[in-house]
Amino acid sequence: MEAKNILVTGIGGNVGQGILRNLRVSGYSLRLVGSNVSKTSAGNHLCDKIYELPYARDEAYIPAVQELCDTEDIHLIIPSTDYESLCLARHRDKLPEVAACPYETVLTFTDKLETYRYLSHRDIPFAECCPPSEYQGQFESFIVKPREGRGSRNLHFNPARWDGFPDEEYTVQKLHLGKEITTAFYVDLTGNLVGHISLLRTLVNGATVFCRVTHACDREIERIIREMMAALEIRGACNIQYILDEQGQLHPFEINCRISGTNSVRANFGFNDTVWTIEERLYGKSIDKPEIRSGAAYRILMDVIFPDDPSLDEVNDQSNFYLY
């Protein structure tokens, strides 16, 4: 079988690296091209070829992606960051197949304030939000966060002042306390919900370090997923992050319509949305309902050693390396 060429973006982050690892052990004949805003990143060793691209906000981004796709004969682009998903979805008519929801859906979910406005208007649960200029202490506890996803960066919990945060960039969101759960779900290209998996997780600096499969909220979270599917056109991999409070209520506070950060973990528990993405979009296969297995995972730190390179500035896709 002729190898398919896949571009995975954002390989400097754990989402992109998880996608690459899942693809490497998928059993399919794949040639993996990775991109990042830096030529050297932690995902380099997982790729057959690497490219440095501008930030997705840059006007040069789409022309650079087009040139890359032409040069490498790319068959599928899998974005691993929110804004790349948004930009690639907007310009998908100029590109090879893009593993992203329709542009309007990505646009809604990329902006947390707009997510709240859209879903609350349709009586779909989401943590209450408002612009900083409209916040008057109506939440007992709150968090000021960027309206667009930035990997849990620039978060401000119960700040003494919030008038310095511009409405265009930040939102004030009601802060709920309880257990944090992330639920990944997959909607096939015909619009059917294939399945979902929920992980109770512990985070450090915004990244999952420990998680375990939980079924505590299966019925309620599926109801919310189906309500969202009725309100917006969702296709492919998505995830919902939410708090389960002591009263058993769910409080979603973020939605990502892309493959998310625990993809490498959940693949080991029967939910491999990375592989389903290529099976549907490259090979035309239908996806069966997954059988979710119980289990837990703990993430560790590893080193990628480049013994022949005196500095990381010289590392490329031809560099020798080993894992330690």
Q: What does the pLDDT look like over 154-191, one tens digit per residue?
A: 899 999 988 889 999 999 999 999 999 999 999 999 99
Q: How far is CA 20 from the centre of its chain?
A: 14
45 and 85 share one domain: yes
- Residues 271, 215 contacting (CB under 8 angstroms): no
State the amino acid at position 102 in one-letter form: P
282 and 250 share one domain: yes
65 and 9 share one domain: yes
- More confidently predicted of 109 and 317: 109
Two tokens at 218? 């299966």
Give me the mean pLDDT over the 77-105 stretch: 97
Two tokens at 121? 């208007």
State the angle between helix axes of 103-110 and 82-90 in degrees (0 to 180), rounded to the nearest 10.
Answer: 150
> For residue 131, what pLDDT is reported?
97
The answer to the question of residue 220 being in a domain is yes
| Per-residue pLDDT reduced to its tens digit, 28-74 | 999 999 999 998 888 999 999 999 999 999 999 999 999 999 999 99
276 and 213 share one domain: yes
209 and 293 share one domain: yes
37 and 144 share one domain: no
> For residue 312, what pLDDT is reported?
73
Instruction: Please provide the DSSP assignment of 21-73 as one string.
Output: HHHHTSSS-EEEEEEESSSS-TTGGG-SEEEE---TTSTTHHHHHHHHHHHHT
Give me the mean pLDDT over the 119-130 stretch: 97
Instruction: Look at the alpha carbons of 306, 310, 316, 319 in this order and tell me if their dihedral is positive or negative.
Output: negative
DSSP for residue 80: -
Q: How many structural domains are present in the chain?
A: 3
CB atoms < 10 A from the CB of 254, how many?
A: 20
**pLDDT of 151 higher than 80:** no
N-to-C CA span, the chain: 33
Question: pLDDT category, 315, cuts 50, 70, 90?
Answer: confident
> For residue 306, what pLDDT is reported?
85
Cα 64 from Cα 14, distance rounded (Å): 23
Two tokens at 199? 């992980």
161 and 231 share one domain: no
Q: Residues with Cβ < 8 Å from 150, sequence gap 6 or more?
A: none
Residues spanned by the domain of 73: 4-100
230 and 181 share one domain: yes
Side-chain-facing half-sphere of 169: CA atoms under 13 Å: 9
Residues in the chain: 324
Cα 296 from Cα 266, distance rounded (Å): 9
The answer to the question of residue 318 being in a domain is no
- Residues 50, 17 contacting (CB under 8 angstroms): no
The answer to the question of residue 320 being in a domain is no
The answer to the question of residue 133 being in a domain is yes
In this structure, what CATH number is given to the domain that contains residue 26?
3.40.50.20
pTM strictly above 0.85: yes
**pLDDT of 2 higher than 90:** no
Question: pLDDT category, 149, cuts 50, 70, 90?
Answer: low
- Residues 75, 66 contacting (CB under 8 angstroms): no
Pairing of strands 304-305, 322-323: antiparallel
pLDDT more than 90, % of the chain: 84
The 3-state DSSP class for residue 73 equals coil
Give me the mean pLDDT over the 77-95 stretch: 97
State the amino acid at position 70 in one-letter form: D
Two tokens at 210? 């420990």
The answer to the question of residue 160 being in a domain is yes
The 3-state DSSP class for residue 106 equals helix
CA distances from 296 to 179, 200, 266, 271 (A): 16, 9, 9, 14
The answer to the question of residue 315 being in a domain is no
92 and 170 share one domain: no
> For residue 150, what pLDDT is reported?
62
> For residue 1, what pLDDT is reported?
65
> For residue 154, what pLDDT is reported?
84
CB atoms < 10 A from the CB of 303, how many?
A: 9
> 90-104, 118-132, 155-169: lowest mean pLDDT where?
155-169
Two tokens at 204? 């450090």
Give me the mean pLDDT over the 312-324 stretch: 79
196 and 140 share one domain: no
Instruction: Please provide the DSSP assignment of 237-306 as one string.
Output: EEEEEEEE-TTS-EEEEEEESS--TTHHHHGGGT--HHHHHHHHHHH----PPP-PPP-EEE-----EE-
The answer to the question of residue 153 being in a domain is yes
The answer to the question of residue 28 being in a domain is yes
